[in-house]
Structure 1
Amino acid sequence: MHGMNRRQFMSRLSAVAAGAALWSAGSYDQALAVTAARAVRTRGTTLEQAARPVGSGAYKRLVAGPGWPLVVRGELAGAGAGRDDRRTGLASFVQFTDLHLADVESPVRFEYLAKFNDSACRPQEALTVRGASSLVERVNAVRQGPYTGLPFGMVMATGDNTDNHEHIELDWYLTVMSGGRITPSSGDPSRYEGVQNSGSVDYWNPELPLQDHYKAKGLPQIPGFLSGAGRPFTAPGLKVPWYTTVGNHDDSIEGSLPDLGLLNELYTGDRKLEGCDDATAAQLADALKHDPARAAALLGKLLTSEGAIRKVTPDERRRPFSPTEFAQAHLDPAHTGAGPVGHGFTADAANSGHLYYTFPLAEGVLGISLDTTNRAGFADGSLGTAQLKWLESVLKSHSSRWYDTDGRTVRGGSGDSLIVLFSHHTSTSMGNLLPDPYHPFELRHDGAALVSLLQRYPNVVAWVNGHTHENRITPHGHAVPERAFWEINTASHVDYPQHARIIELADNGDGTLSLFTTLIESAAPYVSDVHDTSDAGLAALYRELSYNDPYATPNAKLGAATDHNTELLLRRPGK
């Protein structure tokens, strides 16, 4: 084992003690082992420390709390003794997900639906760009996997990288990832033109003494908050290669409505709706969930009527992008950063609009990025037949054997790469089988169909995704260990707990593999200061405000200890 200093030893001893307490309290199944002592390095991860709310009032402050222990999960394979001494690291990478970089001054936003949908308006959303850049700073500082010690090979952002698929949001995302100067404001850069200085009690007005509904729940007045949020800053950019997976907010209006180009003039125009009566808001909220066409019609009517309309500075950069433009933007040399060119997307992807691809995750490990969005609308996803067939062909070409639909073994492909899939949607959020309006005669396939396909290929080891804004890790294939894999779902970086995840793949030398999943938070200070509107101060407020969003349920998204820092065991293919 690697040497450690006294501080590291005491830190790990404390983590072991915490794990032992949890074990004795019976919090975990007896099949689980709990320890954090086996990490090579814990600094900068939630193994070392994690945000913790404190205070008895409505508004909770965040402080640095104790780190979370490692939980060993053996549902798919047994945990062999001595594997720490035999382990060989195979891959180490980081997952970002659901950054939701938001143009909060955009005319096509639904802030007035917050009481019906907590994601419609968040008190912290003016700080999404700074928050994401602070997360990049954390990855650049940590640099390596805590259990294998391998340097990060890449970062994958698994969708909803933008909030309303506007060109300006995409430019912010690409600059956060690759580095450069950013002005996180649209319209007139010299002033804020959104609901948070509207004077309406329905919104948090951080710079005004107005006693709005948010301040009644404890949110503070913060002088200089909005001017600080829109202030230009320089994003450092990732120091490792990065890739992008597309999410529903990257290809539809507010992640819910089909974008058929009918609202482009509203996007780039000068009319922003800041409110409507509760009955109309309830109708629109319901239509967004059940009837996208009706929702689009209601939205268009609201934005062209008289009412709580605010005149804002028009901005052509708010124009929504198409899938081909999404790929083209990634190919821009200005956004290459640490590479690779295109970040997974090629000129062929830009020409076809097919936003799915393969890439070498590490030697002997293949990454596959899927496009699970459905441009028919609704937030949930699915796969078209063409993409499902493409995926099956990729799996076959990287497998020496697999199972056919009747369970019989088939031998064919020339290789046996270990395979990690990435998508935005999870297996349980892929039930949107509406016909894609751009491919109306193509069948759509749900999450169960994808799980069934993946279980036919023993070298699939993990499926990494987002969308739910929740930490949850699910084993698939208990009955037949050779056909098992882990589904790793990570919380968003816009809602609390604002996590990203380090994932390490290792060979234990005993016929098993381990997937280590370690949550990380941004580099922002844990304790915020309402008088500090520096870049670091705003990033700290971003985290704390997300916990205190009165319409959110932050603890529901946190997940259990078994969804946090884990060692996920499974059989090595062919063993």
Structure 2
Amino acid sequence: MAGTRSAVNRRHFLLTSGSVAAGAGVAWAITGAAGPSSAAPVTAAAAPAGPRKNAGPVRLTGPAVVRRAAPYGTTTLESTARLQGSGAYRRIGAGPGWPSAVRTELAAADSRRTGRRVPLACFVQFTDLHIADVQHPLRTEFLRAGSPGSWRVQEALSAQGAVALVEQANALRAGPHTGLRPAFVISTGDNADNNAAIELEWFLTAMSGGRITPNTGDPGRYEGVQDSGLALFWQAEAALRDQDKQRGLPRVPGYLSAATAPLTSPGLDIPWYSTPGNHDALPGGCIAPQDPELHDLAVGARKLLTVPDTDVAAYRKVLVSGADPKSAVLKDILRRNAAGARTVTPDPRRRMITPHDYLTAHLDPAYAGHGPAGHGFTEDNLDGDRMYYAFEVAPGVLGISLDTTYRSGHLEGSLGTDQLRWLERTLTAHSSRYYDTDGRAVTHSGADDAHVLVFSHHHSPSMTRRPDATDEDKQRHDGQEVIALLSRFPNVVAWINGHSHVNKITAHGHAVAARSFWEVNTASHVDYPHHARLFELADNQDGTVSLFTTLIESAAPYRADAADLSSVGLASLYRELSYNAPGLAATLGGGVKESSAGARQDRNTELLLRRA
């Protein structure tokens, strides 16, 4: 937990421009040179097999898959993206897969379980897609003057990367441990990057299918930082020796035209669900929502590219401290430096969206895709703009999607009292036995006693009790309170989340074994290592269940080709650029055990859990 908390603190000022530099340790995750830390008991699993003996019927539906080179249609059990060669800028190729690790902190592993296992559920988690309008006037790219990692060189290709991930989910025909085809995808927040209406439209289109034109403002030209002539940013098409070309990034003629050209998403061919994140609800993930002055700037004609170093330092300070929920410092910086801002084409599609807008867009039949209607939200959610719900994962398995966003303006998460009480009521309704706050067992006749999976954007270390800036009398509830609540219900299997941009799996143990559960935190699909996660749940018929977690990459080819400016080619470049982010490739060979990709026990796993 301590390591995860440090990662969150380090990310505070980076998230406004949407970038994270992972720091030391990336090399180990790429090379796979180190084993699990001694802190977690992990045992090696056998090589992944197909459907288990006596595991029930294998359900494979849909048309046959046209096989292409890995990673299309594969998981990281089979192959993984690895940096190759040497030099400041390194290419990507296919590396060996990561074997599955059996984690036994919460239950022992009976060797006979594989022969009698009954599959229960299979689904995919996307998280932190951060689909971005990179020409948006409220982006704070100027923070890069204080840290090279405060701006992503790959961010103009987020739509192409998301479409390649959708294609990969469609190509996964069966879970490697249960043989079940994934039944749905759930995206656990930061689906958009800057709380902009156009970004939400692109996300919904990527997931449900249709044409995306990742361009705003003047339809005939790009108007962001990458044609500004500033050496602070990668000028991909220019001969200028900017700071990124100095560390090896290539010149790519035609890059900006290709990045903003229309592309078509096939849409998911299975249902999908949506969980909101702080970037979906707040500009930059932490800027005051629906502020009239900032709203006018968002849709207006001025985009600030650089500011004095003193302003960079001042803004970074309040981002780290969270001491400016009304964005007074940012507004002052934007006012004082307005004369030096770039003139851009105004665009009303860049407007800030409210929770009501977010819900209404999901309920729009134009984005129904393969359903369900509303993607978890219903018309009832519009009453009070409640962005949380429960749904059936599979027969006997309940999913609960939470809204952990601190809507007053900060990147940290929390739950309000109303939502916490709703969560308790929902858990109670699906638990035949639970424990009260004093630890006494309570029998609840008539409950269906489903296995429960909880989904949210924030993970437990990033949820705090920060007071509500709009009403300090409103109590907020942190991650430890959520853990305490979930541990009262023996049928909770896992809490699945994102936000940290790090793969991390934590065992939340309890003196009463059945009150334990797993927390599975998955890295982002916008930064290295560009992961999503496949989950499979099975009953071992011995008083335990197994939750299998298998990381997946997008369907884009590993090897990028600067001459291939198709959507697929750009998705490959998207991955390669992110693996060459400042500070990442340089750490190769560092020998450390953890990074954004996680240690061995945080990636492909079998998580055992005792049931009551």
| TM-score after normalising by structure 2 | 0.87
Aligned with 1:37 (options 39, 47, 50): 47
**2:339 matched to 1:339?**
no
Partner-residue secondary structure (3-state), 2:133? coil
Distance 1:499 1:24, change over 3 A: closer
Pairs within 5 Å for 1:98-247: 98-116=128-146, 120-247=150-277
- CA contact 1:123–1:545 (8 Å) conserved in 2: yes
SS of residue matched to 1:214:
helix
Using a 3 Å threshold, how does the CA distance of structure 1 residues 443 and 191 change in structure 2: closer, same or farther?
A: same
Q: Is the 8 A contact 2:141 2:305 kept in 1?
A: yes
The answer to whether residue 296 in structure 2 is matched with residue 265 in structure 1 is: yes
Do 1:118 and 1:552's aligned partners in 2 also have CA atoms closer than 8 Å?
no
2:491 match: 459
Q: Secondary structure at the match of 2:329?
A: helix
Q: Alpha carbons of 1:382 and 1:495: their partners in 2 closer, same or farther (altered >3 Å)?
A: same
Query: Could you tell me whether the CA contact under 8 Å between 1:178 and 1:336 is conserved in 2?
Result: yes
Question: Retained in 1: the 8 A contact 2:290–2:352?
Answer: no
Residue 119 to residue 162, structure 1, CA distance change in 2 (3 Å): farther
- Whether 2:534 is the aligned partner of 1:502: answer yes
Separation (CA, whole Å) in 1 of partners of 2:306 and 2:398: 48
Structure 1 residue aligned with 2:517 = 485
Q: What is the match of residue 94 of structure 1? A: 124
Deviation at 1:258, TM superposition (A): 2.1
Could you tell me which residue of structure 2 aligns to residue 556 of structure 1? 595
CA distance in 1, matches of 2:562, 2:34: 41
- Whether contact under 8 Å (1:380, 1:431) holds in the other structure is yes
Maintained 8 Å contact 2:326/2:409: no
2:575 counterpart of 1:538: no
Q: CA offset at residue 351 of structure 1? A: 3.4
- Whether contact under 8 Å (1:51, 1:64) holds in the other structure is yes
Code of the residue aligned with 2:411 in structure 1: it is A
Cα distance in 2 between the residues matched to 1:434 and 1:53: 44
Q: 1:256–1:432: structure 2 CA closer, same or farther, 3 Å change rule?
A: farther
User: How many pairs are equivalent?
Assistant: 551
- Do residues 565 (structure 1) and 604 (structure 2) align? yes
3-state SS in 2 of match to 1:274: coil
Matching of residue 353 in structure 1 with residue 393 in structure 2? no
Q: Deviation of residue 288 (structure 1)?
A: 1.9
Q: Name the SS of the counterpart of 2:473 in structure 1.
A: coil
Deviation at 1:292, TM superposition (A): 5.2
Deviates more, 1:243-252 or 1:142-151: 142-151
> In 2, are the aligned partners of 1:470 and 1:559 still within 8 Å (CA)?
yes
Structure 1 residues 342 and 294, CA, compared in 2 at 3 Å: closer, same or farther?
Answer: closer
Tell me by how many angstroms 1:412 deviates. Answer: 1.5
Residue 422 of structure 1 is matched in structure 2 by: 455
1:15 match: none
Q: Please give the secondary structure, in 1, of the residue aligned with 2:506.
A: strand
CA contact (8 A) 1:96 1:156 kept: yes
- Report the TM-score when normalising by structure 1: 0.92
Structure 2 stretches lacking a partner, 5+ long: 1-31, 52-70, 588-593
CA apart distance, 1:442: 1.9
In structure 2, C-alpha distance between the alignment counterparts of 1:386 and 1:430, rounded to whole Å:
16
- Structure 1 residue 289: Cα displacement: 2.3
CA-to-aligned-CA distance 1:392-426 (integer Å, 9 cap, x gap): 00011101110111111011252201100000011
Give the secondary structure class of the aligned counterpart of 1:516: strand
Q: CA deviation at 1:479?
A: 3.0
Which residue of the other structure, out of 464, 481, 494, is the alignment partner of 1:431? 464
2:36·2:42 contact (CA, 8 Å) conserved in 1? no
CA offsets 1:268-299 (integer angstroms, 9 cap, x no match): 00100000111111111111222453772232
- 8 A Cα contact 2:288 2:325, kept in partner: no
Residue 18 of structure 1: aligned partner: none
Higher RCO structure, 1 or 2 (CA under 8 Å, sep 6+)? 2
Q: Which amino acid aligns with 2:43?
A: A
Q: Deviations over 1:13-40 (max 9, x none)?
A: xxxxxxxxx9997876795322352331
What is residue 253 of structure 1 aligned with on the other side?
283
Equivalent position to 1:448, from 468, 476, 480: 480
Give 5+ residue unaligned stretches, structure 1: 1-21
Which residue does 2:82 correspond to in 1?
Answer: 52
Pairing 1:330–2:362 present:
yes
Using the alignment, how far apart are the partners of 1:231 and 1:552 within structure 2?
29
- C-alpha contact 1:292 1:378 (8 A) present in aligned 2: no
Once the two structures are TM-superposed, the CA of residue 156 in structure 1 deviates from its matched residue by 0.5
Deviation at 1:226, TM superposition (A): 0.9
What is residue 318 of structure 2 aligned with on the other side? 287
**Displacement after TM superposition at 1:375 (Å):** 1.2
Cα RMSD after superposing both structures: 2.0
Q: Name the CA distance, whole Å, in 1 between partners of 2:322 and 2:452.
A: 37
Q: Secondary structure at the match of 2:341?
A: strand
Deviation of residue 128 (structure 1)?
Answer: 0.3
Using the TM superposition, give the Cα deviation of residue 548 of structure 1 relative to its aligned residue in structure 2, in angstroms: 1.0
CA deviation map 1:108-150 (0-9, x unaligned): 0111102546664200000001100100000100132111011
CA contact (8 A) 1:181 1:235 kept: yes
Identify which range, 461-470 or 256-265, moves more after superposition. 256-265
Shift of residue 314 of structure 1?
Answer: 0.5
Q: Deviations over 1:370-406 (max 9, x none)?
A: 0111112221111111100010000111011101111
Q: Which deviates more, 428-437 or 536-545?
A: 428-437
Structure 2 counterpart SS, 1:293:
coil
Report what 1:10 is aligned to.
none
Q: 1:354 to 1:26 in 2, by over 3 A?
A: closer
